[in-house]
Amino acid sequence: MAAHAIDSPVILFSHPEYGQRLLFKNSAANTRNELGKNGVSIHNGFSSLFYKTIKINAQKINRDGSVEATTFSVNRSSLSKYLGIKDPRKMKDEDLVAALQKQFWTDDPENKETVKAQALAGEKLRHAGEHNKRPISSWRNALSDYLKGSFLNWLYKKTISGVNRIKVRFLFVRTEKDIFEAGEILAKKRVKQAYKEVPAYKEHLERSKFKITSKTRLVDLPVTNKENYIKINQKHDAKTHRHGKYPAKAKVDTSTGTTGKPTPWVRSHEEVEIVKESLQLAAKIQFGDRKLHYIDAFALGPWATGLTTYELMRNTGSVFATGSDKEKILDELLRIESYDNDLRGQALDRWQQKHPKDISDQDKELIGDLIKKVLAKVLKNRDLDLYDALKEAFEQTTGRSAELVRRYKGEIRRMAAELNKDKQQIIIAGYPPFLKDLTAYVESKGYHFDDFSAIGVVGGQAISEAMRELLIEKGFNQIYSSYGASDLDINLGVETEFEIALRKAIEKNPGLARELFGENKGIPMVFHYDTMNYHVECDGDNQLIFTCTHDHRSSERARYVLGDEGRLYACSDVQAILAKHGLFLKPKTNLPLMFVWGRESTVVYNGANLAFTELERAITDDEELKEQVLKKAFYAYHDEEGAERLEIWLELDEGKEFPSEEEMQASTQRLFNSLTAINQDFKWQLEQLDNGTLLPVVRYFKRGASPISETDGHRKQVLVFKQNANLASDYQFPDASQCKAVAAKMAPEILQEKIPQLKG
């Protein structure tokens, strides 16, 4: 059989579930949009005798980047399906190869046709978000779904409390197919339970004039959200709970709605406990037996993030809730450092007492310094074994230190091991901009932040990779992000080293980004999620839809829309596309991945969500601004240091001239004043600022001078402009005759009940 040469290089992709697949570098990874169908299947030697194959010659790219000409026996049927050819029987082998050749894009990443083809591949890769097609109440699968659902529910509850137990779960829910199906089966079970037991959900379906039949699928059910489900029942929100009653034991926290009134979230004791257990498990997987000390720097009080974080931290380690008080945080860091020094001093004293004639105070200092550095290195690199780190440190000693190591190596190792057991990992949880401010504050007080070996956990808003790198440069060992929402839970998505590495790769490689999700999306946050905690769908508008799949929620969430834009992926799909780009990253689990861009009409300022509707209300409530402003938008971007920044853009109405500098300054202050009246989270964040702190820039444009009206040909107005997403990277603001920026500073008047308007 003659071999056919192809123009695209190829990559061998090995996966524990799907075996070895052949990927074409210059074509889509998964054209079939099916689980496990990346590239085409191949056969070696004896097995090729039992299948119809086509021999293909190609340049194989190895893991080390080297290239070698190789001949492969490609499964003919697999290639036909990859090409979307339904009846290949009448086609010759050379015709199939010719069809494959036509599908290849060029090696030039700037080529317009290549860019278009990569983006199309990314747009089509949607199967992970479409596990919602099973009938909810069909008699054919009623018994099997009931038995499977009951077992999976029991399995989740029993295995969430420990690392060894979770390994048992993966014996039953092992493959990617198992994981996705488990989520869908549990979601169906929760929906049926909500219909029977939750009055508000039954009313929601009746209001939507929807009736569940034997043909109804999960995807057919009307979605719920804060507007059509939470707020509509706010006066009688017990109806959103099982049997129309609050749980006997409950925890209440709040978030802020667009009216300015806090939305209470009532959570059952069992619900809170299961979230605690899941976070305990995550901490155990991430940090092993290391003792943890949390510093909760989120806003405290009744706010959902700070209060819930504090509650959950108590179960996984010691915790000090400081809020955003930088002085208290530094005092706590110094206290822990003093405690570590004291423990180390005691161990060295005992060592000296054992050898009083041979060990001097200077010897104690030498070995104490060695142990301190080794323990810090082990904290920074959790994969590094203590004894390997000690061995390396011992080999680098000279003079008296080397002599002490030769004579007392065993005792030094025992001392280091004892101190390592008591060494705490400090974890500071807060908003990204605050952590940056904290490192600057610590440095201003004469300390080095890296001396504390702290890890940062951020939430409430996305963090750029530039900001992550800056925080690590400033002294954090690592920064992890988490994804959650007060409407649902704080543990919807988890970030590990794999997700961080993947996100960095997306940022550096536009072609990789296009093959994953298309063009003009910006850089998403990347998390993995547990389908036995939440079943997640993604619709055609990239809207994420959540159904709580465990049965501990008192207030069920069925097909709930947060408003976040995102995409879902099987881990194997992402690994395959990474392999095409020479990256062979290995995740710890095969749980699916969630890419989150956030809300298209919402921005974040220091952890407070600001909605476009709130900006619109603030402007229409101000007589002067209402008269002057035609269009408005947010602009979110990252500055040169990677810090997330926010601007408010206002386009003046036709024929309107810029007001005076004094009037624009006054209007800008009134705008912030109105926003604090509308949004209590925003007000709280401004209250934490020192007077004189710069607030988000408000930029005024003449009519037609701004990008607000029509961007990238969209007829619909863009509400939030994002750097390198829906705004050209080389965009330049118009000159001063068309655009003026007002940089207001924090002042007590902004927090007053009402700032008076200037009299003309």
Per-residue pLDDT tens digits for 562-575: 989 999 999 999 99
Q: Which tokens belong to 438?
A: 């904290």
Q: In Å, how far are 22, 207, 532, 550, 708 from 270, measured between CA atoms?
A: 47, 30, 16, 11, 47
Q: Is the pLDDT of residue 714 over 70?
A: no
* Distance of alpha carbon 195 from alpha carbon 727, whole angstroms: 44
Give the bridge partners for 690, in sequence order: none
- Cα(43)–Cα(50) distance, integer angstroms: 9
> Could you tell me which residue, 499 or 688, shows the higher pLDDT?
499
Q: Taking residues 32-53, report their average pLDDT.
A: 90
Residue type, 418: E
Residue 156, SS3 per DSSP: helix
pLDDT over 80 at 343, yes or no: yes
Q: What is the mean pLDDT of residues 672-689?
A: 88
Predicted pLDDT of residue 544: 96
Check pLDDT > 50 for residue 737: yes
Q: What is the pLDDT of residue 299?
A: 64
* pLDDT above 70 coverage of the chain, percent: 95
Question: What is the per-residue burial (b if ≥16 Cβ within 10 Å, else e) of 619-651?
Answer: beebebbeebbbbbbbbbbbeeebbbebbbbbb
Q: pLDDT class for 177, splitting at 50, 70, 90?
A: very high
Question: In this predicted model, what pLDDT tens digit does every residue of 368-421 receive, in sequence order?
Answer: 999 999 999 999 999 999 999 999 999 999 999 999 999 999 999 999 999 999
pLDDT given for residue 559 in this prediction? 96
Encode 124-157: b = buried (16+ Cβ within 10 Å), e = exposed.
ebbbbbebbebbbbeeeeeeebeebbeebbebbb
Those residues whose C-beta lies under 8 Å from the C-beta of residue 201, and which sit 6 or more positions away, are 194, 195, 224, 229, 240, 556, 558
The mean predicted confidence, pLDDT, of the chain is 89
Strand-pair partners of 480:
457
Average pLDDT rounded to a whole number, residues 184-198: 94
Q: What is the pLDDT of residue 307?
A: 61
Q: What is the mean pLDDT of residues 139-156?
A: 87
Rounded to whole angstroms, how far apart are CA atoms 91 and 87?
A: 8
Residue (of 81, 128, 201) closest to 593 by Cα position: 128
| Amino acid letter for position 711 | T
- List 61's β-bridge partners, or say none: 67
**Is the pLDDT at 637 greater than 70, yes or no?**
yes
pLDDT digit string, tens, across residues 517-531: 998 677 889 999 999
Pairing of strands 424-430, 53-61: unpaired
pLDDT over threshold 50, residue 712: no
* pLDDT category of residue 507 using cuts at 50, 70 and 90: confident
Identity of the residue numbered 678: I
Q: Is 456 helix (H, G, I), strand (E, B) or coil?
A: strand
pLDDT band at 504; cut points 50, 70, 90: very high
- 586 confidence band (pLDDT: 50, 70, 90): very high
Q: For residue 131, what pLDDT is reported? A: 92
